[in-house]
Amino acid sequence: MADHDLALRQDVPSSARVVNKLLGGKDNYEIDGLVAATAGRKFVASLREARRFLLRAVKVLSTEHGVRQYVDLGCGLPLSPDVGDAAAHRGETGRVLYLDHDIMVAAHARALLEHAPDRRFALVDITDTTAVFDYIGGFLDLGQSLAICLSGTAELLPDAPGVLAKLTTGLPPGTWIILSHITDDVLGEDIRGTAAQLESHSITYRPRDRTTVSNMLAPYRLLRPGLVAPHQWRPENGNRVYRGLRPVELELSAYAAVGHLPG
C-alpha cells in the first residue's frame, strides 16, 4: 500500500487510485491510468467480478440472514454502489464501518459520509488489529450479527493470513466474513505479469493460491457453494443494482467465499 506522504502526489501512483481506475472509478490521476493500462485483461476481469461478488454477498447476508452491520476493511476510494448501498433492505439502511489508511480515501469518504449517521469512516492501518477492534467496538453493536469484508485488499497486505487470523480470534462467535482474493492458480502468466508491472511502480501485489486462501477461511463454515470463482458465487442473487453488467468471463483468477464463525 502507498505511504501517507505519497497518497496525494500526482506523479506517483497509489494502490487505491489504480484500483479505482481498474474498477471504472474517476478518483485517480493520469499516472494511475497509465499503470492501470498495463494490467492484463484477465486480471481486470477478475478484479471487477470480485467487486460484484462483494456487493452480491452483502445483499445475500442482508436479505437472507438479517445481517445489518458491516466492516469494510481497506474500503478504497468510494464507488457506487458500495457496501452500504448493498446492505440496504426494505427501507432499512445497514450500519457500515469503512476502514482505510490512505489519506485521499479518507478525504473522499468523510465528505460523502458527513450526513450519513449509519456509516462511518476511520483512518487506520488495518494490520493494526487492536485499533481495528477499537473502531468496531466504538461504532457497532457486538451483541448483534456483523460481517467483515476483505475484498480487493488482502493482496496488498504482506501477511493477510496473519491479519485475518488475529481478527478472527477477537471477533465474537456468529461473525460473518466476505472474502475474495486474486490468485495465479488460474491464468498465472497474466496475473504474475500484472503483479510484476505493479511492483515496478512500487505497488506490491500478492496473488495467493487456493490452499492459502482455504486456510485463511478454515475457522469459518462456508455458505454454499463454498470457495469458488467470484462469478460462480450465487449469480442468481443479482438484482437491479447490477443491471447493465457485461457477461462474465468463463475463467477467472480469483477465489471468493462467505463464511460464518461458529459459536
Place of cell 504474475: 192
CB atoms within 10 A of CB 19: 26
State whether residue 120 is helix, strand or coil.
strand
Is-contact 12 31, C-beta < 8 A? yes
pLDDT of residue 239: 45
Q: How many CB atoms lie within 10 A of CB 88?
A: 16
Tell me phi and psi for residue 86, to 5 degrees: -70, -25
Residue 89 is predicted with a pLDDT of 78
How would residue 92 be classed by pLDDT, with cut points 50, 70 and 90?
A: confident
* Higher per-residue confidence, 33 vs 115: 33
pLDDT at 199: 97
Confidence band for 158, pLDDT divided at 50, 70 and 90: very high
Residue with cell 474498477: 23
DSSP-derived secondary structure letter, 249:
P
The amino acid present at 19, given as its one-letter code, is V
pLDDT of residue 7: 58
246-262 average pLDDT score: 83
Average pLDDT over residues 188-204: 96
Q: Are 260 and 220 in contact (CB under 8 A)?
A: yes
